[in-house]
Amino acid sequence: MSSASTITPIDQATPVPGRAPDRYFKHQLIAPAIFLLLLIGLFPLIYSLIVSFQRITMLEEDYSFAGLANYAQLFRDTRLWQSLLHTAIITAIALPIELVAGLLMAQLFLERLPGRQIFVSLLVLPTVISPIVAGATWRLLFDNRYGPINQILGWIAGEPVAALWTVNPNLVYPAIILCEIWQWTPFMFLILLAALSNVDRSLTEAAEIDGAGYWRIFGRIVLPAIWPVMAIAILIRSLDLVRIFDIIWALTAGGPGTMTETISIYTYTQGFNQFETSYTAAMAFLVIALLTVIVTWAIRRMGLAK
């Protein structure tokens, strides 16, 4: 395992004789972590691959091999493709809104504003709450009769509003996305505020003196400066959105019908409500494979590992 290239200065500096060999020290250090990661990371991958070729359901233990039947079924399963579409819709709408709103908020708080620290501390709150609690909170807020949202809308409209936010097919997506934006815009805001604060002011001021307009300064100086941080924030948020479960589970549980079923909710339903073990394993494997490719590409692309 140890090759010449892995020897670091500290190894050369300490040729201590007569001591237990330090050669395996670095492996001893990392072994427990790798073991646990393999147990929970790699094992499920292999295990679901094997199960996905069988015909197991939780009601019937049929270990005979089905070949690629489960995978063939994945392609015919319109509900699966629907759920991927729902996931894509939520991601495509929520992510840009969170990003732009977060950026605007960061701009608002970038310059001196007395009491800024208090505002920031309060604005952080949604992001640190458990998503399931956030979903439960909005479920209470959205209640058609006793919730405050319809009440406030009623004031604006001038007549009582009794919108069924978590049931009405036209309103479920706005409801989910509103909750999602509420919880995660502060996340974008915090990170972008920190990134903007680190932009070299002398550069933007010099450009201003040279007569460059706001957008020109933003596009040429500010954006390139904050991009590395922004890219990571986008990566973190998009991966979270792709696996979104908690908020939707609390608000609609995928309903009405299967209207708001995302890939995570559908996988859960297949595995734990329909008991389609082998089929769910195939689905899980598909999701893992798909995301591994995307994630590895994104991490390398952004030079995150450096």
Q: Which of 274, 248, 268 is nearest to 259 (CA)?
A: 248
Which residues have C-beta within 8 Å of that of residue 188, sequence separation ≥ 6?
98, 99, 101, 102, 103, 106, 233, 237
Distance in angstroms (rounded) separating the CA atoms of residues 96 and 35: 38
With contacts defined by CB under 8 A, how many residues of the chain interact with another protein? 106
Instruction: For the segment 189-228, give every residue that binds another protein (CB under 8 A).
Output: 190-191, 193-195, 198, 228
Looking at the Cβ atoms of 16 and 210, the one nearer to another protein is 16
Among 91, 103, 248, 285, binds another protein (CB under 8 A): 285
Task: For 237-253, give one letter per residue: b (16+ CB within 10 A) or e.
Answer: bbebbbebbbbbbbbbe
299 is an interface residue for another protein by CB under 8 A:
yes
126 is an interface residue for another protein by CB under 8 A:
yes
Instruction: For the segment 36-55, give every residue that binds another protein (CB under 8 A).
Output: 36-37, 39-41, 43-45, 47-48, 51
Q: Cis peptide leading into 9, omega within 30 of 0?
A: no
CB of 297 to another protein, least distance (A): 10
68 is an interface residue for another protein by CB under 8 A:
no
Interface segment toward another protein; rule CB under 8 A; list 60-68, 77-85, 140-148, 200-208? 140-148
CB of 197 to another protein, least distance (A): 8
Write out the two tokens for 221: 């100086």
32 is an interface residue for another protein by CB under 8 A:
yes
Distance in angstroms (rounded) separating the CA atoms of residues 267 and 49: 15
133 is an interface residue for another protein by CB under 8 A:
yes
